[in-house]
Structure 1
Amino acid sequence: MIVGIGIDLVDIDRFERTLARTPRLAERLFSASERERKPRSLAARYAAKEALIKALGGSDGVHWTEIEITPEASGRPWFTLSGSTAEVVAARGITTLHLSMSHDANLATAYVVAEAGHAPPTVPGEHA
């Protein structure tokens, strides 16, 4: 069952200027292995992390460096989560995260679908 979706779009030139203006920002947003990538790939990874936060419905307990985008052997991007971020995802009953990323011209985009094996818990007073 789909429990959340998220999408994000990043202007690559603007993102690159922001990283140049605030060099420590990359350390707060990306793992050491991610920081080795080119700016357009970092922009796509930033979009993926933003899209994940949107799919989760917020950033409580989520930490940027605990979200790493790692490619499978085929090149397919995949989330590798750790720490409290992995705990938040598990606590929400999310069993699968689907990720698609792309960059073209001067834009990077990412789309995330969060799935749970069962219906999410309802909030008292909320109607289905």
Structure 2
Amino acid sequence: MIVGIGVDLVDIARFERTLERTPRLLERLFSPAERELKPRSLAARYAAKEALIKALGGSDGVHWTEIEVTPEASGRPWFTLTGSTSAAVVERGITTLHLSMSHDAGFATAYVIAESETAR
């Protein structure tokens, strides 16, 4: 059963300017592995993390660096959650997260669906 949906859209150029003005955002928003990526990929991951928070219904117990977007061998993006963020997802009864991301024409977008085995 779907228990949450989240979507986010990021202007890549604006996001890149924000990172240039505030370099510490990289450490606050992204895992060490993600920090090595190009700005368009970081913008898509930022959108994914925002969409996840929306699908969860809020940010209680969620920490940005505990959410990592990791690609499967096929390239399909997937969330790798750790710490209190992983616990928050479990506490909400969420058993499956679906993620889709894209970037084109200066924008990055992400869509997340959260599923539970039972209605809450």
TM-score (norm: length of structure 1): 0.93
Shift, 1:108, TM fit: 0.1
Cα offset for 1:39? Answer: 0.1
Q: Distance in 2 between matches of 1:43 and 1:84?
A: 23
Where does the alignment leave 5 or more consecutive residues of structure 2 unmatched? none
1:7-29 Cα distance to aligned partner (Å, 9 max, x none) = 00000000000000000001000
Tell me whether 1:94 sits opposite 2:109 in the alignment: no
CA distance in 2, matches of 1:58, 1:88: 10
Q: Which residue of 2 aligns with 1:103?
A: 103
Give 1:119's aligned amino acid: A
- 1-structure distance, mates of 2:33, 2:25: 15
1:105 deviates by 1.0
Task: Give the distance between the partners of 1:116 and 1:79, measured in 2 at CA.
Answer: 16
1:117 is matched by which residue type in structure 2? E
The alignment yields a C-alpha RMSD, in angstroms, of 0.3
User: Which whole-Å deviations, capped at 9, do the CAs of 1:62-93 have from their partners, x for residues lacking one?
Assistant: 00000000000000000000000000000010
Gaps in structure 1 of 5+ consecutive residues: 121-128
Q: Tell me the residue number matched to 1:67.
A: 67
1:20 aligns with 2:20: yes
How many residues align? The count is 120
Letter in 2 for 1:34: E
Q: Hey, what does 1:125 align to over in structure 2?
A: none
SS at match of 1:103: strand
Structure-2 residue corresponding to 1:123: none
Larger Rg: 1
- Once the two structures are superposed, the pairs formed by residues 67-86 of structure 1 within 5 Å of their partners are 67-86=67-86
